[in-house]
Structure 1
Amino acid sequence: MVRKAAAWLLLAALLSFIPSRTAHAGVPTADNLIGGQSQSFTLTDQYNRPRTIAFPTDKPLVLMLGDRGGSEQIEPWVRELYQRYGDSIEIQGIAILRGVPAPIRPIIRSQLRSRAPKSVLLDWGGAIADMYRCQSEVCNVVVIDRQGRISTIVRGGVSPERARLVCQALDRIR
């Protein structure tokens, strides 16, 4: 558990060097995504291995999506959720890397390989961030049940109220 939290902390530090992107003007909130079906998707990780997120799954899934600004909020969320749920849930980090120039991408991958042993999916184009209507500069926490229904989306750093919302969603679907 400590090693997983340390890996997420390193991811947060690495993401601090990546440019953030402002949110889309006029993009609807994620509220109307709640209860809807999550789409399957495939991204590659820092090892250039493809990973498909598809449903049904064995465990509830928590996606943590963040750009540079949101990366600082990832590790406290991971620590909070691992303390409460351990391995009964799956947490998958997704780095929102929209706007990173192609020549810099191998450097980002290399840094993540050397510092983050847990697979971090790389959303270079921002398609997954757009799918979940992620906000920039914050951690976007998406809780998805085993069948792929979006249970809740919470944005921002861990706080008692946000943690309560995420934990209530996880308790309902575990």
Structure 2
Amino acid sequence: MKLLILLLAPLFVVLPIYGYQSENLIDFKIKDQFDKVHEKSDFSDKIVVIVGSDREGSKYNDLWVKAILDSLEKNNTGKHVSFIGVADLSAVPFFMRGIVQGFFPSDTTKRILMDWDGEFAETYKFKEEHCNIAIFGKNEKFVSKYPVQKFENKIFEQILNDLRKLFSK
């Protein structure tokens, strides 16, 4: 028994280092840049696309969201998808939060969840300096994740194929 414990003990130290990717959309209650609270239940019965990034990765977000939205609107399927913008702000010192929050868009149609604790980034293993696109089905089950930067048609088509499969379910 002692040998088994000694063999398994390193796993409990190593696993948290590598993180855990939830198979479901995490339960959350987070404010956006306008201090409006958003929670998981706001997105029930919809396909969810999380678009998350750190500061360096945020420059790619609009490019990818616009391309995906344009494609969905052409196929009249956009109303079945909810996009959740998430800013990984875990590296921001507490005393800088108010200042940083002021840098976000003032357009109320572009709401971004202010993830000060890095919960989304940690759970879904966001890649730094990338736009991280995570797709979830209506059942809140994780489907796929794409860390992207410059536009790549091959990855774009994979994202659209993942969404098409969810529409047919």
- 2:40 is matched with which residue? 53
Secondary structure of the corresponding residue to residue 82 of structure 1: helix
- 1:111 is matched with which residue? 103
Deviations 1:3-44 (A, max 9, x none): xxxxxxxxxxxxxxxxxxxxxx952696xx5xx222221111
- 1:77 is matched with which residue? 64
- Number of residue pairs aligned between Structure 1 and Structure 2: 146
Which of 86, 94, 98 is residue 94 of structure 1 equivalent to?
86
TM-score by length of 1: 0.75
Deviations 1:88-136 (A, max 9, x none): 2211110011111122211222232535642100111111210111111
User: What is the rounded CA distance, in whole Å, between the counterparts of 2:43 and 2:93 in structure 1?
Assistant: 35
TM-score by length of 2: 0.77
User: What is the rounded CA distance, in whole Å, between the counterparts of 2:87 and 2:122 in structure 1?
Assistant: 13
Query: Is the counterpart of residue 161 in structure 1 residue 148 in structure 2?
Result: no
| Gapped regions of structure 1 (runs ≥ 5) | 1-24
User: What is the rounded CA distance, in whole Å, between the counterparts of 1:107 and 1:53 in structure 2?
Assistant: 27
User: What is the rounded CA distance, in whole Å, between the counterparts of 2:88 and 2:132 in structure 1?
Assistant: 10
| Gapped regions of structure 2 (runs ≥ 5) | 1-15
- 2:137 is matched with which residue? 145
Contact map agreement 2:143 2:162 (CA 8 A) in 1: yes
What RMSD in Å do the two structures reach over aligned CA positions? 2.2
- 2:29 is matched with which residue? 42
User: What is the rounded CA distance, in whole Å, between the counterparts of 1:28 and 1:51 in structure 2?
Assistant: 24
**Which of structure 1's runs of 4+ aligned residues deviate more than 3 A?**
none
Distance 1:102 1:26, change over 3 A: closer
Contact map agreement 1:40 1:55 (CA 8 A) in 2: no
Identity of aligned residues (%): 21
Which of 112, 134, 141 is residue 120 of structure 1 equivalent to?
112
Deviations 1:18-72 (A, max 9, x none): xxxxxxx952696xx5xx2222211111011211024872321100010012111
Distance 1:71 1:113, change over 3 A: closer
User: What is the rounded CA distance, in whole Å, between the counterparts of 1:126 and 1:117 in structure 2?
Assistant: 23
User: What is the rounded CA distance, in whole Å, between the counterparts of 2:96 and 2:42 in structure 1?
Assistant: 33
Amino acid at match of 1:27: Y
Contact map agreement 1:55 1:146 (CA 8 A) in 2: no
